[in-house]
Amino acid sequence: MLLWEVKRRSHRCELFRRRLINKKNVVRYTLGIPKLQQELKNLQAGALYWVATDQLSQATKLVGLTLSSCSETAKAALLTHSNSDMDQIHTYLSNPEQGPGDLRSYLVKLNSGRDLDQLTKQLDRALKPRGRLIVVVLPSTDLALWTDNAARVLKQWRNWIEKNSCTLWVVSYGSNASALTQELAVHNNSLAGLAELSTRQTTENELRYEVYYWRSDLTVKGRHSFDVQSTATEFDVIADLTPDEPLKNQPSPKRKYELIFQKEVLEGMPVFLAENWQVLDTWDELVEKGLSIANPILIFAISGNKDLEPLARLIYTLRLQRSDMIKIVVREMGHHLREQEADLLKLCGVSMVVPAQTKLAQFFGFLEEVKTQSFTYKLTKNLEESLALVRADQVKGPLALIPFCAYVESVLKKTPKNDFVGVLAVLRPVPMLTAENLMSQIKLSRLGDVVCVANNLVYVFLFGCKLSFAMVALGRVFKLPFNEMVIENQLFSEPDDIEEQVLRIRRQGSQNGIEPLVSTERIEQESKAEQTTPVFQPVLTPLVL
C-alpha cells in the first residue's frame, strides 16, 4: 500500500493555533446532512463509522459538505483513491472561512487485505494523528475484499482509533452498496454506525438514506429511513419514513437529566449551581448544549411577543435534530403569550410552557415534574403555515374608526374561517364616563390588539384570543378594575359575527347617539322575564379624569 500527501490546507492554521491557546475548544464532528436528527449524524471520538453510496458524486458531495461544516478548530485528514475524487471534494472547501483549520489530504491505494492491514501504520508514519477526523473515500467494486477481511480489519481499525482518540469515517461508492452494507451489518461490535445513501428509482436527485444503526455520545439509534433531496448546495431531508408516531419523552428512573437554564429565567436569584445545573446567557448557548448533551432539559425565557417567531423556529429545528431525546421548557417572563401562541410552541416541540404568574418556587416544582412525566406531542408538518396563523400585523393600540375596520377586515380576509381565533369586545362605559375616558384606561401591549371608539362605545379587537379567555384578557388590559368602568359588554368570536359588527361600526361612524348592543326585542323580552328580580347596581368608585 502507498500513502502520500497531496494537499495541505494551512491558510487558517495560525488562527487555529490561536483559538486553541485562547480557550478550551470541544470539537464535534457531524455528517453534512443538516436536517438529520443529531443522534443520527454525530461522529464520536474513538468510533468507526461507514456510509455506503451507489454513486461517486454522492460520496464526494457528502464528504465535501461534512468537511465544510467543520469548525475552524477542527483537525481532519482526507484519504481518497484518486486525484479526481479529491478535487471534487475540495470544491466544497473553496471558501477559506469554511472547513477545518487543519486539513491534510492523501492519496491511498487499498487493493488487498494486506493494504487494509497496513493503513493504520501508514497513518502513524505520515501523520501521527491525535483527536483527528479521518475520512477514507474508496471504491467498493471488490466485494470479496471486504467479505474475506472485514472482521479482522474493522477490529484493528477500531482499536487504533480508540488509542488515538480519532474518529474514522469510511465512505465507499459503487453499484454494490446494498450488498456491502448487508455484509458489514453484522460487525456492529466494531462499527459504531452504518448507513447507506442510494438513488431511488425516479431521478438521480431523489435519494434514500437508510440508517442500520448509529451510536454516539448522545444515544444509540436503530433502523431509520429518510427520503433525501440532493439540491445544488445540500442534502435536504424531505421525509422521515420511520413509523409516524407521536414523539414521546419517556420517563426513566435510570435517566439522569441535566438542567440548562437561560439566566433570565432565574429572575436574578443568586445562582447556586446544584448538581447537573448549568446557567447560560443566550438561546444560542442553550441550543449548543442541547445538541451535545445526552439528556438535557433546556429552559428558555421569552420576554416579549416579538420573540415568539424566532424562538419557535429555533425550538422546531432543535426538536427535529434531537427528536425525543431532550425536554424543552419555555418560561414566560411577562404576560406576552396568547393561548394560541403557547399552543404553537407546543406544536414546535416544547414540553411545557410555564405561565407568567408562576412563582419561582412553583416553577422549580414544575421542573421536577418534567423530569418524571412523559410528554406526547406531534410536531407541525408545516412550520410556515402554523406561524402565519398566529403572526400579527405590526399594529397595536388605539386606531381611528376607518383604520380599525380596515385592519379587522384584513385579518378576517387572510385567515380561513376554521382557523380563525380572535375576539371583538364591544364595551359601554358607565354613565359618568365617556367612551374616550374608557379607552384612555386601556393599555394594549401585544401586536395585533387594537381599540377604537364609535358612538360612545369602545370596540376592542383581541387578535388570537380565544373566547374562553377574553374576559381575563380584558381584565389585564385595563389600568383600573374593568367591572367598575364598564356597564355592558358583548363578545363576538365567530368571523361572520365580527364582520357584521365591523359593518355596523362603519354605519355608526356618521351617526350620533347611543345604540343598544343587543336588539330592542331581546331587551324587552329579558325585561319582562326579570321584572320581579332585584337589579344589582354595583357601587362605582369615582374616577379622577
Which tens digit of pLDDT belongs to each residue from 383-413?
898 888 888 888 999 999 899 999 999 999 8
Rounded Cα distance, 308 and 342, in Å: 9
What's the whole-model pTM score?
Answer: 0.62
Given a cut of 60, is residue 24 above it in pLDDT?
Answer: no
Is pLDDT above 60 for 362?
yes
Give me the chain's average pLDDT, please.
81
Q: What is the mean pLDDT of residues 327-348?
A: 88
| 493 pLDDT tier (thresholds 50, 70, 90) | very high
Residue pair 228/209 in contact by the 8 Å Cβ criterion: yes
- pLDDT score, position 376: 65
Poorest-pLDDT segment among 11-25, 235-249, 318-332 = 11-25
Domain 249-386 has CATH 3.40.50.2300: yes
The residue-averaged pLDDT of 122-128 equals 87
Collect all residues with Cβ–Cβ distance below 8 Å to 19 and sequence separation of at least 6.
25, 72, 73, 101
Confidence at residue 255, expressed as pLDDT on a 0 to 100 scale:
63
Q: Could you check whether 3-242 and 249-386 share the same CATH topology?
A: yes
Percent of the chain's residues with pLDDT above 90: 30
* pLDDT tens readout for residues 407-418: 999 999 888 888
Reported as a single tens digit per residue, the pLDDT across 134-164 is: 999 988 876 677 777 888 999 999 999 999 9
Q: Which residue did the predictor score with more confidence, 94 or 78?
A: 78
What residue spans define the domains of the chain?
A: 3-242, 249-386, 393-512
Q: Which of 87-91, 216-220, 480-484, 515-519 has the highest mean pLDDT?
A: 87-91
Confidence of residue 249 (pLDDT cuts 50, 70, 90): low
Residue 526: pLDDT band (50, 70, 90) is very low
One-letter amino acid at 51 equals: V
pLDDT at 459: 95
Using DSSP's 3-state secondary structure scheme, residue 375 falls into: strand
Give the residue from 95, 135, 112 showing the smallest Cα distance to 9: 95
Query: What is the tens place of the pLDDT at every residue in 213-240?
Result: 998 887 788 888 999 989 888 898 888 8
Q: Is the pLDDT of residue 191 over 80?
A: yes
Q: What is the distance between the alpha carbons of residues 538 and 545, in angstroms, rounded to a whole number?
A: 20
Three-state SS sequence of 271-334: CCCCCCEEEECCHHHHHHHHHHCCCEEEEEEECCHHHHHHHHHHHHHHHHHHHHHCEEEEEECC
Average pLDDT over residues 268-276: 68
Residue % of the chain over a pLDDT of 70:
83
Structure confidence at residue 34 as a pLDDT band (50, 70, 90): confident
Q: Is the pLDDT of residue 288 over 80?
A: yes
> What does the pLDDT read at residue 6?
62
pLDDT of 127 reads 85
Higher-pLDDT residue of 150 and 248 is: 150
pLDDT at residue number 311: 94
Q: What was the pLDDT predicted at 291?
A: 83
Residue 370 pLDDT greater than 70, yes or no: yes
Q: Which pLDDT score, from 0 to 100, does residue 509 have?
A: 63
- Dihedrals phi, psi of 346, to nearest 5 degrees: -70, -35
Output the nine-digit C-alpha cell for 9.
Answer: 490546507
Fold of 393-512: Alpha-Beta Plaits (3.30.70)
CATH code of domain 3-242:
3.40.50.300
Q: Which of 7-16, 299-308, 335-344, 390-399 has the lowest mean pLDDT?
A: 7-16
Q: Give me the mean pLDDT over the 477-488 stretch.
A: 88
Position with higher pLDDT, 246 vs 428: 428
Q: Is the pLDDT of residue 14 over 70?
A: no
- CA gap 160, 167 in Å, rounded: 10
Confidence (pLDDT) at 375: 66
